[in-house]
Protein backbone atom coordinates (compact mmCIF):
# COMPACT_ATOMS: atom_id res chain seq x y z
CA UNK A 1 0.00 0.00 0.00
CA UNK A 2 1.35 3.42 -0.97
CA UNK A 3 1.93 5.81 1.91
CA UNK A 4 0.39 9.25 1.65
CA UNK A 5 2.42 11.96 -0.02
CA UNK A 6 2.14 15.26 1.82
CA UNK A 7 4.24 18.31 2.63
CA UNK A 8 4.89 21.06 5.17
CA UNK A 9 5.40 24.59 3.92
CA UNK A 10 7.05 27.47 5.76
CA UNK A 11 10.36 29.21 6.31
CA UNK A 12 12.77 26.32 6.89
CA UNK A 13 15.77 26.89 9.16
CA UNK A 14 18.23 24.23 10.32
CA UNK A 15 21.87 23.65 11.25
CA UNK A 16 23.83 20.62 10.07
CA UNK A 17 26.95 21.75 11.96
CA UNK A 18 27.66 24.16 14.78
CA UNK A 19 27.79 27.67 13.37
CA UNK A 20 26.33 26.76 9.98
CA UNK A 21 22.69 27.87 9.69
CA UNK A 22 20.79 26.94 6.55
CA UNK A 23 17.61 28.73 5.46
CA UNK A 24 14.98 28.07 2.81
CA UNK A 25 12.30 30.77 2.85
CA UNK A 26 8.92 29.50 1.70
CA UNK A 27 10.30 25.99 1.46
CA UNK A 28 8.66 22.59 1.49
CA UNK A 29 9.45 19.47 3.49
CA UNK A 30 8.36 16.58 1.27
CA UNK A 31 6.85 13.68 3.17
CA UNK A 32 5.79 10.11 2.46
CA UNK A 33 3.88 8.87 5.46
CA UNK A 34 6.09 9.56 8.49
CA UNK A 35 9.29 9.78 6.44
CA UNK A 36 11.06 12.82 5.03
CA UNK A 37 11.77 12.56 1.30
CA UNK A 38 13.59 15.88 0.95
CA UNK A 39 13.27 19.68 0.98
CA UNK A 40 12.71 21.99 -1.98
CA UNK A 41 11.60 25.50 -2.91
CA UNK A 42 8.63 24.34 -4.98
CA UNK A 43 6.54 21.19 -5.12
CA UNK A 44 7.67 18.58 -7.67
CA UNK A 45 5.18 17.18 -10.14
CA UNK A 46 4.50 13.98 -8.18
CA UNK A 47 3.35 16.15 -5.23
CA UNK A 48 0.97 18.23 -7.36
CA UNK A 49 -2.08 16.67 -5.68
CA UNK A 50 -0.47 16.15 -2.27
CA UNK A 51 -1.90 17.60 0.93
CA UNK A 52 0.11 20.64 2.04
CA UNK A 53 0.16 21.85 5.64
CA UNK A 54 0.95 25.48 4.94
CA UNK A 55 2.27 27.50 7.89
CA UNK A 56 2.61 30.71 5.93
CA UNK A 57 5.33 33.00 7.27
CA UNK A 58 6.08 30.84 10.32
CA UNK A 59 9.52 29.30 10.86
CA UNK A 60 9.97 25.53 10.81
CA UNK A 61 13.04 23.99 12.47
CA UNK A 62 13.87 20.49 13.60
CA UNK A 63 12.29 19.89 17.00
CA UNK A 64 14.42 20.16 20.12
CA UNK A 65 16.44 17.55 22.00
CA UNK A 66 16.85 17.83 25.77
CA UNK A 67 19.81 15.59 26.43
CA UNK A 68 19.88 15.89 30.23
CA UNK A 69 17.09 16.43 32.74
CA UNK A 70 15.84 14.88 35.97
CA UNK A 71 12.14 14.03 35.64
CA UNK A 72 11.47 13.56 39.39
CA UNK A 73 12.81 17.04 40.14
CA UNK A 74 10.21 18.69 37.89
CA UNK A 75 7.96 19.75 40.84
CA UNK A 76 10.84 21.72 42.39
CA UNK A 77 11.75 23.57 39.20
CA UNK A 78 12.46 27.24 39.86
CA UNK A 79 13.07 26.94 43.59
CA UNK A 80 15.76 25.96 46.11
CA UNK A 81 18.66 27.68 44.36
CA UNK A 82 20.45 28.86 47.50
CA UNK A 83 23.01 26.03 47.75
CA UNK A 84 25.74 24.49 45.64
CA UNK A 85 25.51 21.02 44.14
CA UNK A 86 26.30 18.58 46.96
CA UNK A 87 24.31 20.41 49.64
CA UNK A 88 21.52 21.07 47.13
CA UNK A 89 21.19 17.35 46.39
CA UNK A 90 21.04 16.34 50.05
CA UNK A 91 18.69 19.10 51.18
CA UNK A 92 16.34 19.43 48.22
CA UNK A 93 16.72 17.03 45.29
CA UNK A 94 17.03 13.72 47.15
CA UNK A 95 14.05 14.35 49.48
CA UNK A 96 11.98 15.29 46.41
CA UNK A 97 12.97 12.13 44.55
CA UNK A 98 12.06 9.91 47.52
CA UNK A 99 8.39 10.75 46.86
CA UNK A 100 8.39 8.61 43.71
CA UNK A 101 7.90 5.48 45.76
CA UNK A 102 4.27 6.63 45.35
CA UNK A 103 3.09 5.52 41.92
CA UNK A 104 0.08 7.86 41.94
CA UNK A 105 2.38 10.84 42.46
CA UNK A 106 4.68 9.62 39.69
CA UNK A 107 1.79 9.25 37.23
CA UNK A 108 0.41 12.72 37.94
CA UNK A 109 3.81 14.40 37.75
CA UNK A 110 5.13 12.63 34.68
CA UNK A 111 1.94 13.11 32.67
CA UNK A 112 2.22 16.87 33.19
CA UNK A 113 5.96 16.89 32.48
CA UNK A 114 5.55 15.02 29.20
CA UNK A 115 2.77 17.36 28.09
CA UNK A 116 4.89 20.40 28.93
CA UNK A 117 7.94 19.07 27.09
CA UNK A 118 6.03 18.49 23.87
CA UNK A 119 4.27 21.87 24.17
CA UNK A 120 7.70 23.53 24.13
CA UNK A 121 8.88 21.69 21.03
CA UNK A 122 10.99 18.99 22.70
CA UNK A 123 10.51 15.57 21.11
CA UNK A 124 13.75 13.79 22.02
CA UNK A 125 15.25 13.30 25.48
CA UNK A 126 17.88 11.57 27.56
CA UNK A 127 16.15 11.69 30.92
CA UNK A 128 16.85 10.53 34.47
CA UNK A 129 14.09 8.96 36.52
CA UNK A 130 14.51 8.12 40.21
CA UNK A 131 15.76 4.81 41.61
CA UNK A 132 12.17 3.47 41.64
CA UNK A 133 11.60 0.86 38.93
CA UNK A 134 7.81 1.18 38.76
CA UNK A 135 7.93 4.97 38.65
CA UNK A 136 10.49 4.77 35.85
CA UNK A 137 8.12 2.60 33.82
CA UNK A 138 5.39 5.18 34.40
CA UNK A 139 7.72 7.92 33.16
CA UNK A 140 8.43 5.97 29.99
CA UNK A 141 4.70 5.34 29.47
CA UNK A 142 3.84 9.03 29.77
CA UNK A 143 6.66 10.19 27.52
CA UNK A 144 5.60 7.76 24.81
CA UNK A 145 1.94 8.75 25.14
CA UNK A 146 2.90 12.38 24.51
CA UNK A 147 4.98 11.45 21.45
CA UNK A 148 8.40 11.94 23.01
CA UNK A 149 11.22 9.63 21.96
CA UNK A 150 14.70 8.85 23.28
CA UNK A 151 16.13 7.25 26.41
CA UNK A 152 15.13 7.12 30.06
CA UNK A 153 17.09 5.70 32.96
CA UNK A 154 16.25 4.07 36.26
CA UNK A 155 18.79 5.69 38.57
CA UNK A 156 21.31 3.51 40.44
CA UNK A 157 22.50 4.66 43.86
CA UNK A 158 23.56 2.48 46.79
CA UNK A 159 25.32 5.09 48.93
CA UNK A 160 25.07 8.73 50.06
CA UNK A 161 21.37 9.04 49.28
CA UNK A 162 20.04 9.31 52.80
CA UNK A 163 17.49 7.11 54.54
CA UNK A 164 14.73 7.28 51.93
CA UNK A 165 16.67 7.29 48.65
CA UNK A 166 19.14 4.47 48.67
CA UNK A 167 19.20 0.87 47.45
CA UNK A 168 21.39 -1.99 48.49
CA UNK A 169 23.91 -3.00 45.89
CA UNK A 170 22.08 -6.26 45.25
CA UNK A 171 18.70 -4.53 45.00
CA UNK A 172 19.99 -1.93 42.56
CA UNK A 173 21.47 -4.54 40.21
CA UNK A 174 18.44 -6.83 40.49
CA UNK A 175 15.90 -4.05 39.88
CA UNK A 176 17.92 -2.77 36.93
CA UNK A 177 17.98 -6.18 35.27
CA UNK A 178 14.24 -6.60 35.83
CA UNK A 179 13.58 -3.11 34.47
CA UNK A 180 15.60 -3.84 31.35
CA UNK A 181 13.64 -7.04 30.76
CA UNK A 182 10.32 -5.23 31.25
CA UNK A 183 11.22 -2.59 28.67
CA UNK A 184 13.15 -4.54 26.06
CA UNK A 185 10.43 -4.15 23.41
CA UNK A 186 9.79 -0.41 23.70
CA UNK A 187 9.91 1.51 20.44
CA UNK A 188 9.93 5.21 21.35
CA UNK A 189 11.57 5.55 24.78
CA UNK A 190 14.25 2.97 25.45
CA UNK A 191 16.26 2.12 28.58
CA UNK A 192 19.54 3.81 29.40
CA UNK A 193 21.95 2.71 32.13
CA UNK A 194 22.02 5.49 34.73
CA UNK A 195 24.50 5.43 37.61
CA UNK A 196 23.62 8.73 39.25
CA UNK A 197 27.21 9.82 39.69
CA UNK A 198 30.29 8.26 41.25
CA UNK A 199 29.59 9.38 44.85
CA UNK A 200 26.21 7.59 44.69
CA UNK A 201 27.56 4.22 43.53
CA UNK A 202 29.90 1.86 45.37
CA UNK A 203 32.65 0.04 43.53
CA UNK A 204 30.59 -3.15 43.82
CA UNK A 205 27.59 -1.53 42.14
CA UNK A 206 29.74 -0.04 39.40
CA UNK A 207 31.15 -3.52 38.75
CA UNK A 208 27.60 -4.87 38.42
CA UNK A 209 26.63 -2.07 36.05
CA UNK A 210 29.74 -2.76 34.00
CA UNK A 211 28.63 -6.39 33.69
CA UNK A 212 25.15 -5.31 32.62
CA UNK A 213 26.65 -2.98 30.02
CA UNK A 214 28.85 -5.78 28.68
CA UNK A 215 25.87 -8.13 28.48
CA UNK A 216 23.89 -5.48 26.59
CA UNK A 217 26.32 -3.85 24.12
CA UNK A 218 23.63 -1.61 22.61
CA UNK A 219 22.61 -0.22 26.01
CA UNK A 220 23.92 3.35 26.38
CA UNK A 221 24.97 5.01 29.64
CA UNK A 222 24.29 8.47 31.07
CA UNK A 223 25.74 10.14 34.15
CA UNK A 224 27.49 13.28 35.40
CA UNK A 225 31.08 14.44 34.97
CA UNK A 226 33.21 17.21 36.49
CA UNK A 227 30.28 19.45 37.39
CA UNK A 228 31.47 20.95 40.67
CA UNK A 229 34.90 21.34 42.32
CA UNK A 230 33.85 19.76 45.62
CA UNK A 231 32.32 16.83 43.71
CA UNK A 232 35.57 16.32 41.78
CA UNK A 233 37.58 16.27 45.00
CA UNK A 234 35.14 13.76 46.53
CA UNK A 235 35.58 11.45 43.54
CA UNK A 236 39.36 11.61 43.98
CA UNK A 237 38.94 10.54 47.61
CA UNK A 238 36.65 7.67 46.63
CA UNK A 239 38.91 6.54 43.77
CA UNK A 240 42.51 7.43 44.71
CA UNK A 241 43.74 5.24 41.83
CA UNK A 242 42.14 7.66 39.34
CA UNK A 243 43.85 10.91 38.41
CA UNK A 244 40.74 12.09 36.56
CA UNK A 245 37.01 11.77 37.19
CA UNK A 246 36.31 9.99 33.89
CA UNK A 247 38.56 7.08 34.86
CA UNK A 248 36.09 6.09 37.59
CA UNK A 249 33.65 5.28 34.76
CA UNK A 250 36.24 3.98 32.34
CA UNK A 251 37.57 1.25 34.62
CA UNK A 252 34.11 -0.33 34.80
CA UNK A 253 33.50 -0.27 31.04
CA UNK A 254 31.02 2.60 31.06
CA UNK A 255 33.22 5.13 29.24
CA UNK A 256 32.48 4.28 25.60
CA UNK A 257 30.97 5.44 22.34
CA UNK A 258 27.52 6.91 22.96
CA UNK A 259 27.99 7.50 26.69
CA UNK A 260 26.34 10.79 27.71
CA UNK A 261 28.01 12.91 30.39
CA UNK A 262 26.28 15.99 31.73
CA UNK A 263 28.01 19.27 32.59
CA UNK A 264 31.75 18.71 31.98
CA UNK A 265 32.46 22.14 33.45
CA UNK A 266 35.98 21.36 34.67
CA UNK A 267 37.19 18.82 32.10
CA UNK A 268 40.85 19.53 31.43
CA UNK A 269 42.72 18.76 28.24
CA UNK A 270 43.33 15.11 29.18
CA UNK A 271 39.71 14.49 30.10
CA UNK A 272 38.49 16.18 26.94
CA UNK A 273 40.83 14.07 24.83
CA UNK A 274 39.48 10.96 26.53
CA UNK A 275 35.97 12.08 25.61
CA UNK A 276 36.87 12.58 21.97
CA UNK A 277 38.80 9.32 21.72
CA UNK A 278 35.99 7.27 23.26
CA UNK A 279 33.08 9.01 21.49
CA UNK A 280 31.58 10.25 24.77
CA UNK A 281 29.10 13.15 24.50
CA UNK A 282 29.33 16.29 26.63
CA UNK A 283 25.95 17.78 27.56
CA UNK A 284 26.04 21.50 28.29
CA UNK A 285 23.56 22.69 30.96
CA UNK A 286 24.24 26.42 31.39
CA UNK A 287 21.14 27.35 33.40
CA UNK A 288 21.83 24.74 36.06
CA UNK A 289 25.54 25.55 36.14
CA UNK A 290 24.64 29.16 36.84
CA UNK A 291 21.81 28.53 39.32
CA UNK A 292 23.79 26.30 41.65
CA UNK A 293 27.07 28.10 41.00
CA UNK A 294 29.02 25.29 39.38
CA UNK A 295 30.84 27.25 36.67
CA UNK A 296 30.93 27.78 32.90
CA UNK A 297 31.79 24.83 30.67
CA UNK A 298 34.36 25.42 27.88
CA UNK A 299 31.96 24.60 25.06
CA UNK A 300 33.72 26.57 22.31
CA UNK A 301 36.96 24.77 23.14
CA UNK A 302 35.20 21.40 23.09
CA UNK A 303 33.67 22.11 19.69
CA UNK A 304 37.03 23.21 18.32
CA UNK A 305 38.61 20.01 19.63
CA UNK A 306 36.01 17.85 17.89
CA UNK A 307 34.17 16.66 21.00
CA UNK A 308 30.52 15.72 20.52
CA UNK A 309 28.42 18.31 22.35
CA UNK A 310 24.67 18.70 22.86
CA UNK A 311 22.53 20.54 25.41
CA UNK A 312 20.23 19.85 28.34
CA UNK A 313 17.84 21.80 30.54
CA UNK A 314 19.00 19.87 33.63
CA UNK A 315 15.68 20.41 35.36
CA UNK A 316 15.60 21.05 38.27
CA UNK A 317 19.06 22.50 38.75
CA UNK A 318 17.89 24.24 35.61
CA UNK A 319 14.76 26.33 36.09
CA UNK A 320 13.70 26.43 32.41
CA UNK A 321 12.23 23.55 30.47
CA UNK A 322 12.41 25.19 27.02
CA UNK A 323 15.48 24.38 24.97
CA UNK A 324 15.54 27.77 23.17
CA UNK A 325 15.98 29.32 26.62
CA UNK A 326 18.80 26.88 27.36
CA UNK A 327 20.32 27.88 24.01
CA UNK A 328 20.33 31.59 24.77
CA UNK A 329 21.72 30.87 28.25
CA UNK A 330 24.59 29.08 26.52
CA UNK A 331 25.29 32.16 24.39
CA UNK A 332 25.20 34.42 27.45
CA UNK A 333 27.62 32.42 29.59
CA UNK A 334 29.96 31.89 26.63
CA UNK A 335 30.20 35.65 26.30
CA UNK A 336 31.33 35.79 29.93
CA UNK A 337 34.06 33.22 29.18
CA UNK A 338 35.03 35.35 26.17
CA UNK A 339 35.22 38.43 28.38
CA UNK A 340 37.11 36.72 31.23
CA UNK A 341 39.60 35.20 28.73
CA UNK A 342 40.60 38.67 27.59
CA UNK A 343 38.38 38.20 24.52
CA UNK A 344 40.54 35.30 23.31
CA UNK A 345 38.06 32.41 23.61
CA UNK A 346 35.32 32.82 21.03
CA UNK A 347 31.75 32.93 22.27
CA UNK A 348 28.84 30.90 20.91
CA UNK A 349 26.35 32.24 18.39
CA UNK A 350 22.70 31.48 17.67
CA UNK A 351 23.86 29.38 14.71
CA UNK A 352 25.97 27.32 17.13
CA UNK A 353 23.23 26.76 19.68
CA UNK A 354 20.59 26.01 17.04
CA UNK A 355 22.74 23.03 16.15
CA UNK A 356 23.31 22.10 19.80
CA UNK A 357 19.57 21.88 20.57
CA UNK A 358 18.53 20.29 17.25
CA UNK A 359 21.16 18.76 14.97
CA UNK A 360 23.36 17.39 17.74
CA UNK A 361 20.48 15.45 19.26
CA UNK A 362 19.44 14.23 15.84
CA UNK A 363 22.94 12.86 15.35
CA UNK A 364 22.95 11.19 18.75
CA UNK A 365 19.72 9.36 17.95
CA UNK A 366 20.95 8.22 14.55
CA UNK A 367 19.27 10.80 12.31
CA UNK A 368 20.80 13.36 9.98
CA UNK A 369 21.00 16.96 11.23
CA UNK A 370 18.30 19.09 9.65
CA UNK A 371 15.58 17.55 7.51
CA UNK A 372 17.38 14.46 6.25
CA UNK A 373 15.80 12.26 3.60
CA UNK A 374 14.88 8.86 5.03
CA UNK A 375 14.45 10.12 8.61
CA UNK A 376 11.18 10.32 10.52
CA UNK A 377 9.96 13.90 10.78
CA UNK A 378 10.73 15.72 14.02
CA UNK A 379 9.85 19.39 13.59
CA UNK A 380 8.53 22.45 15.40
CA UNK A 381 6.66 25.35 13.84
CA UNK A 382 7.54 28.69 15.48
CA UNK A 383 5.31 31.75 15.22
CA UNK A 384 6.59 35.26 15.98
CA UNK A 385 3.42 37.15 15.03
CA UNK A 386 2.74 38.11 18.65
CA UNK A 387 6.17 39.75 19.04
CA UNK A 388 6.71 43.42 18.29
CA UNK A 389 6.04 44.19 14.63
CA UNK A 390 9.32 44.42 12.74
CA UNK A 391 9.18 43.75 8.99
CA UNK A 392 12.79 44.79 8.47
CA UNK A 393 14.65 41.82 9.99
CA UNK A 394 16.07 38.77 8.25
CA UNK A 395 14.96 35.20 8.82
CA UNK A 396 17.94 34.36 11.01
CA UNK A 397 17.28 37.43 13.18
CA UNK A 398 13.64 36.41 13.48
CA UNK A 399 14.73 33.03 14.84
CA UNK A 400 17.16 34.72 17.22
CA UNK A 401 14.37 36.93 18.53
CA UNK A 402 12.06 33.94 19.04
CA UNK A 403 14.79 32.17 21.00
CA UNK A 404 15.47 35.15 23.25
CA UNK A 405 11.77 35.86 23.86
CA UNK A 406 10.63 32.26 23.82
CA UNK A 407 7.41 31.05 25.40
CA UNK A 408 5.11 28.11 24.59
CA UNK A 409 2.92 30.65 22.76
CA UNK A 410 5.60 30.71 20.05
CA UNK A 411 4.97 27.02 19.29
CA UNK A 412 2.33 26.65 16.59
CA UNK A 413 2.75 22.93 15.88
CA UNK A 414 5.00 20.02 16.84
CA UNK A 415 5.69 16.86 14.84
CA UNK A 416 7.33 13.77 16.31
CA UNK A 417 8.02 10.54 14.40
CA UNK A 418 6.04 12.01 11.52
CA UNK A 419 2.91 12.59 13.59
CA UNK A 420 1.45 15.99 14.48
CA UNK A 421 1.34 16.11 18.29
CA UNK A 422 0.07 19.68 18.79
pLDDT value of residue 2: 61
pLDDT band at residue 162, thresholds of 50, 70 and 90?
confident
Phi, then psi, of 67 in degrees rounded to 5: -90, 5
CATH of the domain at 109: 3.20.20.140
**Beta-carbon contacts of residue 311 (< 8 Å; ≥ 6 apart):** 65, 66, 67, 283, 284, 285, 323, 326, 327, 330, 353, 356, 357, 360
The total number of structural domains that make up the chain: 2
Share of the chain above pLDDT 70, in %: 100
Q: How far apart are CA 356 and CA 341, in angstroms?
A: 23
| End position of a domain, from candidates 344, 377, 410 | 344
Spatial distance between the Cα atoms of 158 and 223, rounded to a whole number of angstroms: 15
**Residue 361 resides in a domain:** no
338 and 411 share a domain? no
In a domain, residue 118? The reply is: yes
Do both 74 and 32 map to the same domain? no
Q: Does residue 360 form part of some domain? A: no
Q: What is the mean pLDDT of residues 174-195?
A: 98
Strands 260-263 and 122-128: unpaired
**Residue 12 lies in domain:** 5-62+368-420
Residue 178 Rama label (left phi>0; alpha psi -120 to 50; beta): alpha
362 located within any domain: no
- How many CB atoms are located within 10 Å of the residue 162 CB? 14
Same domain, 187 and 225: yes
pLDDT greater than 60 at residue 105: yes
Q: ∠ at Cα 202 (196, 207), nearest 5°?
A: 95
Domain C-terminal end among 344, 378, 393: 344
CATH number of the domain enclosing 26: 2.30.40.10
Same domain, yes or no, for 45 and 121? no
Per-residue pLDDT, averaged over 415-421, amounts to 98
> Is residue 355 assigned to a domain?
no
Q: State whether 232 and 143 are in the same domain.
A: yes
pLDDT tens digits, 300-314: 999 999 999 999 999
Are 375 and 309 members of one domain? no
234 lies in the same domain as 198: yes
Task: Mark whether 75 and 117 lie in a shared domain.
Answer: yes
Span 41-86, pLDDT tens digits:
999 999 999 999 999 999 999 999 999 999 999 999 999 999 999 9
Is residue 414, in this structure, part of any structural domain at all?
Answer: yes
| Same structural domain, 20 and 75 | no
Q: What is the mean pLDDT of the chain?
A: 97
- Reduced to 3 states (helix: H, G, I; strand: E, B; else coil), residue 57 is strand
Predicted confidence (pLDDT) per residue in 333-356, tens digit: 999 999 999 999 999 999 999 999
Residues 107 and 229 occupy one common structural domain: yes
Average pLDDT over residues 392-405: 98
Q: Is there a single domain that holds both residue 150 and residue 86?
A: yes
* Residue 352 lies inside a defined structural domain of this protein: no
Nearest residue to 36 (alpha-carbon basis) of 65, 1, 3: 3
Cα angle: 240, vertex 246, 248; to 5 degrees = 45
Same domain, 255 and 143: yes
Amino acid sequence: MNKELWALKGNLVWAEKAGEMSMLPGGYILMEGEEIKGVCDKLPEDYADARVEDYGDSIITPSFSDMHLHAPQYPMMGMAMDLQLLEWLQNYAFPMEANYAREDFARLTYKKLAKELISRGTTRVCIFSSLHRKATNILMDELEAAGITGYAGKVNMDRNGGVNLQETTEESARETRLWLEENKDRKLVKPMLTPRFIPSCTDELMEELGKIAKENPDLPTQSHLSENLEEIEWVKQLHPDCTHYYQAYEKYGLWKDGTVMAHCVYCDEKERKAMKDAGVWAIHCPDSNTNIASGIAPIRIMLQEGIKVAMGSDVAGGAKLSMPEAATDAVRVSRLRWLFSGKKEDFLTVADVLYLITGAGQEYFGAKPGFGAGDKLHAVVLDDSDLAYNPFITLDRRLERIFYQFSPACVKAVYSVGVKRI
